[in-house]
Amino acid sequence: MGQGFLALYASSGERIWLEKARQAARFIDANFALRGAGYATVAVSAGARGVFKESVRDVDENIAVARFANSLYRYSGVAGFRALAQHAMRYLASPQLANGQRLRTGILLADAELAGEPTHVTIVGHKDDASAQALHGAALRYPSVYRRVDWWDKREGAMPNPDVRYPELARAAAFICTGNTCSQPVFDSSQLAQTLDLSMASD
């Protein structure tokens, strides 16, 4: 559910979906976090007996939690969500999973995402502006597994994660950001993919 809410936020820019993603992450942390590292596949009830008393960690579910929580941290700027991702990653990096026999591609992908910056595109423009809509659509179509697509309509107030400052412009624009710096504004949606290609090649 958390992944779905975050995808809805990226694809629409509507902040209600980001808040629902936050709620999902907080629910996961409150109900499934295990002492030391990782998240249980089900919550263990107080009256459970026998094998049902034991918390079971699932590798794929912890990969999903790590990647979701890290993306949520990137979108929201809330450090607690990064801590949630790191809690899952501590289990995924444990010796019994890192011995080569059970190592999965998803673990390497989660580790790389936690260690690096996503492809970050921010659209600055009103949600009812056709140019902003076209730029947003072009950003969503760009093929990138690990990405962050923000849409800032200044009428809605500050961005959820205001880690970059954007200039005041008379028309809608897209910015490709790395760390705390961004590219020159891109006004033409047909040029956004090419600009992203050049930006990725120079990193």
pLDDT digit string, tens, across residues 113-136:
999 999 999 999 999 999 999 999
8 Å CB contact between 151 and 127: yes
Nearest of 2, 50, 53, 6 to residue 148 by alpha carbon: 6
User: What SS3 class is residue 39?
Assistant: strand
What percent of the chain has pLDDT above 90? Answer: 72
pLDDT score of 121? 96
What mean pLDDT, rounded, does the chain reach? 90
**Adjacent-strand bridge partners of 120:** 148, 177
Domains present along the chain, CATH in parentheses: 2-115 (no CATH), 119-202 (3.40.30)
Q: Give dist(CA 152, CA 123) in Å, integer.
A: 6
Average confidence (pLDDT) over 93-116: 82
**Distance from C-alpha of 178 to C-alpha of 182, rounded to nearest angstrom:** 6
The span from the CA of 54 to the CA of 132, in Å, is 51
Summarize the confidence of residues 97-114 as an average pLDDT: 81
Where residue 189 falls (left for φ over 0; alpha for ψ -120 to 50; beta otherwise) is alpha
pLDDT in tens, 36-93: 999 998 865 555 455 545 678 899 999 999 999 999 999 999 999 999 999 999 999 9
Q: What is the pTM of this model?
A: 0.89
The number of residues making up the chain comes to: 203
